[in-house]
Chains A and B, each alone.
Chain A
């Protein structure tokens, strides 16, 4: 898990990660929350049409 994602998962873990602590990421709490789809703090970002439909991106 990248640090940016790790920071998103929870305030406390995020703060700890900023200070260089990676323990929860390794023990999997953040990972489980992310996989289950619950507790994901991401938000819908403004759309960039060309980013979505760029021919250089993945199939689909």
Chain B
């Protein structure tokens, strides 16, 4: 995905950065390299992390709850967040990190052998290892398994639409409603992320949104309200919204973990604005990670950490009042 010119440079069109890459050099993501005038994804077929995770870890709460997902990542990312929790792989160069050699067909076979219901492209960002994720998703579909994207959505609309056509669910990270936040903290821009959210919704796949609350940077009432209102107006009140607790990592170790009070405030604010399914993550508080019926408030799915306890949804409905609960349940 890129165009060349007379000097042998190649412009990558995958993410909004549109890197102009000289021969032998890589783009900003470190893994898309101009080799002899040809743009090459050098991590294709070389995942650095392979693991079987509960789907609640992604976190996806309204998509096959209680199932396991075969999770994979290659090194590289289209963003450079100062608070990245997986920076050892997302911000690394491909030659510095050991990797397995696993082609897409093998990924699908492995997922099946571990009895996973789905394959997740996660840990780093599938936007960076796009071609590999796309080919894996096609192979996985042939095995009748589902595909999940866990992404920050920093990708150009056309490739993202194509990826959405081959996956079943996306967990998209909306880090802030401030372009300045994206520029200063993540090295990106806000608009392409909002576009990706809209693209995923229009593609008809299941979408859940996560927002990491970082003390002093995006935790004010005004910030939270703006985000919640955007979600309500553009994604709908049925879209689950996860508030995640920040922990000091990578280049942002100077800030404390998000306080419980802040997370409670965000949760109450989102519920007051009409979002039906609001969750708090990275905090062991079962009442904030349970799914309740928006109509009768009955607890439908109890969760402790990444474990699902009671699961009471019948045919996608609340057994008590019959309200339809948004999600993919089988």
User: Could you tell me which A residues sit within 8 Å of B by CB distance?
Assistant: 1-2, 5, 31, 34-35, 37, 40, 42, 44-47, 49-50, 52-55, 57-60
- In angstroms, Cα B251 to Cα A1, docked, is 12
Contact of A60 among B50, B54, B85, B255 (CB under 8 A): B85
Chain B residues within an 8 Å CB radius of A52: 48-49, 86, 88-89, 123
Q: Given A1-B253, A5-B253, A53-B71, is A60 in contact with B49 using a C-beta cutoff of 8 Å? A: no
Q: Write the chain A residue with the least CB distance to B56.
A: A59
- List the count of A-B residue pairs having beta carbons below 8 Å apart: 77
Q: Is the CB of B251 within 8 A of A37?
A: yes
- Check: B53 CB closer than 8 A to any chain A CB: yes
Residues of B close to A50: CB separation below 8 A = 51
Of chain B, the residue at the smallest CB distance from A48 is B88
What chain B residues lie within 8 Å of A34 (beta carbons)? 251-254
Contacts A53-B50, A53-B51, A60-B150 hold; do A35 and B254 have CB atoms under 8 A apart? yes
| Contact status A1-B254, CB under 8 Å | yes
**B50 contacts across to A, CB distance below 8 A:** 49, 53
A59-B58 in contact (CB<8A) = yes
CB contacts (< 8 Å) of A49 on chain B: these are: 48-51
CB proximity of A8 to chain B, nearest CB, Å = 10
Interface centre among A1, A35, A46, A50, by most B CB within 10 Å? Answer: A35
B302 at the interface (CB under 8 A from A): no
Q: Is the CB of B253 within 8 A of A60?
A: no
6 A–B contacts from the bound complex (CB under 8 Å): A35-B255, A40-B251, A42-B250, A49-B48, A59-B59, A59-B210
| B65 lies within 8 A of chain A by Cβ | no
> B227-266, CB under 8 A of A: which get 1 and which 0?
0000000000000001010010011111100000000000
Known: A44-B88, A53-B123. A2 touches B51 (CB 8 A): no
Question: Which of B92-100, B102-110, B321-329 has 4 or more CB atoms under 8 Å from chain A?
Answer: B92-100
A40 to chain B, nearest CB (A): 5
- How long is the Cα–Cα vector from A52 to B51 in the complex, in angstroms? 9
Is B183 positioned at the interface, with any CB of A under 8 Å from its CB? no
Min Cβ gap A5→B in Å is 5
| A-B pairs, 4 with minimum CB distance | A53-B51, A31-B254, A53-B49, A59-B281
- Minimum C-beta distance from A28 to chain B (A): 9
Does A45 contact B88, Cβ atoms closer than 8 Å? yes
8 Å CB contact of B282 from A1, A31, A53, A58: A58
Report B-chain residues with C-beta under 8 Å of the C-beta of A53: 49-51, 53, 71, 123
Cα–Cα distance between A58 and B89 once the two chains are bound (Å): 15
When chains A and B are docked, how far (Å) is the Cα of A45 from the Cα of B82?
A: 17
